[in-house]
């Protein structure tokens, strides 16, 4: 029993597990093309939301990969984005002149993507920096920013599953779902 005000029985599937898994293969091969073949890719998994996406995506890479994990918080328990970005854990190795791929779950307002992109460019001076997000809510943008790669463009609705949560729940679902209003 949870204290959630939204019940899983009302959840509708927006993107199925099969669609996600199929997309990962094409995304991975597109991404790999922008990196030099014999160089490592430093994959930055932005916790907690991109945990599933990142873990599944890297399985399709032929490059040698190093995985790093950072934690950013912007939402709290709400369904609205906040300007209050918090870098909770940003411990990273030296990425100077390295190939870096930032892996996000969703770009909504764009604030987190901007924060991360600026941070990596200014602080780490990578050789190549690319940004991939599974979901792209283009219509919700508050600032102009586009990822280098994305899996699916979605409408401005709050989604859960495959790493994305509502009040900490539903991250474990293998698909992306939404609660109809």
Q: State the catalytic residues.
A: 108
Cα distance between residue 34 and residue 15, in whole Å = 27
Q: Are strands 128-136 and 99-107 parallel, antiparallel or unpaired?
A: parallel
* Tokens at 131, concatenated: 């940004």
Rank residues 56 and 108 by Cβ distance to ligand IMP and give the closer one: 108
Binders in 4-43 for ligand IMP, by CB under 6 A: none
According to DSSP, residue 19 is labeled H
107 binds ligand IMP (CB under 6 A): yes
- Residue 88 CB neighbours (<10 A): 10
Stretch that binds ligand IMP, among 14-22, 33-41, 62-70, 100-108 (CB under 6 A): 100-108
Which of the 8 DSSP states describes residue 128?
A: E
Side-by-side strand order, sheet with 65-73: 86-89, 65-73, 41-47, 99-107, 128-136, 149-153
Q: Does 159 bind ligand IMP (CB under 6 A)?
A: yes
By CB under 6 A, is residue 105 in contact with ligand IMP?
Answer: yes
Check residue 108 for interaction with ligand IMP (CB under 6 A). Answer: yes
Tokens of 92: 């990273």
Q: Among residues 60, 71, 81, 138, which is the contact residue for ligand IMP, using CB under 6 A?
A: 81
Please select the residue that binds ligand IMP; options are 35, 52, 110, 162, rule is CB under 6 A: 110
Q: Is 99 in the site for ligand IMP (CB under 6 A)?
A: no
* 69 is a site residue for ligand IMP (CB under 6 A): no
Beta strands 159-160 and 176-178, pairing class? antiparallel
User: Judged by CB under 6 A, does residue 56 bind ligand IMP?
Assistant: no
- Judged by the rule CB under 6 A, the positions of this chain that interact with ligand IMP are 49, 74-75, 81, 104-113, 158-160, 164
């Amino acid at each position: 029993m949870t204290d959630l005000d939204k019940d899983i029985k009302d959840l509708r599937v927006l993107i199925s597990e099969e669609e996600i898994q199929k997309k990962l293969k094409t995304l991975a091969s597109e991404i790999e093309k922008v990196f030099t073949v014999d160089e490592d890719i430093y994959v930055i998994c932005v916790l907690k939301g991109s945990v599933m996406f990142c873990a599944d995506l890297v399985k399709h890479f032929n490059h040698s990969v190093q995985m790093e994990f950072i934690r950013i918080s912007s939402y709290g328990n709400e369904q609205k984005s906040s300007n209050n970005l918090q870098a909770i854990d940003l411990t990273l190795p030296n990425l100077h002149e390295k190939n870096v791929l930032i892996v996000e779950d969703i770009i909504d307002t764009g604030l987190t993507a901007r924060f991360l992109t600026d941070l990596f460019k200014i602080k780490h001076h990578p050789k190549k920096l690319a940004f991939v997000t599974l979901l792209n809510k283009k219509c919700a943008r508050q600032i102009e920013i586009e990822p280098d790669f994305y899996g699916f463009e979605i409408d401005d609705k709050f989604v859960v599953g495959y790493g994305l949560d509502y009040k900490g729940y539903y991250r474990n679902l293998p698909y992306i779902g939404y609660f109809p209003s």
